[in-house]
Amino acid sequence: MAIGKRATAEFFGTFWLVFGGCGAALFAAGVPNVGIGYAGVALAFGLTVLTMVYAVGQISGGHFNPAVSVGLVVGKRFPASDLAWYIIAQVIGAICAAGVLYVIASGLVNFDVHTGFASNGYAEHSPQGYSLLACFVAETVLTAFFLIVIMGATDNRAPKGFAPIAIGLCLTLIHLVCIPVTNTSVNPARSTGQAIFAGGWALQQLWMFWVAPIVGGALGGGLYSALFGE
């Protein structure tokens, strides 16, 4: 299929991931008495991936994440020649979703985008104050295992039709572990969209949420290919 159609599918998939996951964190997590909390946000992120992999995975492969695309290149499941197109589409999709969230959130009288806007952070900007090292390790390890699950679920030897469920549930589990640590990235595009609107510290710390997931993605894709590849 033409790269334009595949990149467009990646745009929509990443838009939905950021809009659904970060939207749940912004609008539904902290509502007194009826808020969905960490568990609800984790489930929201998992559902965005599950639904969009079923919707457009047959078109683009359903990456929606630069770290996934890099991991699949390292794991020899995706051509490096298409990598830049995918990453550009993913980042633009995330920024557009963050823009829509900003418009909606601005409808609240006391809204202040600089307080976080579901951005990722470490040290004093970690939800529970985790250090840079702790956050880097968490993001790297969780992204690596995310790639291992993706590679395994989409392996030709795996049962057919269940990959989106496994991948969505894996992302839910990742968020259950990591929201208190970094607000969970494992996705540089997701982090970029929110940081652009939050500005300040979120942009200053954005580097970590590119480096750690990319390293983890490459590690996970490479390990699966080396250890379990056909």
> What one-character-per-residue DSSP string does 207-226 give?
THHHHHHHHHHHHHHHHHHH
3-state secondary structure 33-77: CCCCHHHHHHHHHHHHHHHHHHHHHHHHCCCCCHHHHHHHHHCCC
* Each residue's pLDDT tens digit, 151-206: 999 999 999 999 999 999 999 999 999 999 999 999 999 999 999 999 999 999 99
pLDDT along the chain (230 residues), means of 10: 96 98 95 91 98 98 98 97 98 98 94 91 97 98 98 96 97 98 98 97 98 98 95
pTM score over 0.95:
yes
CATH code that applies to domain 3-228: 1.20.1080.10
Alpha carbons 6 and 225: distance in angstroms, whole number: 24
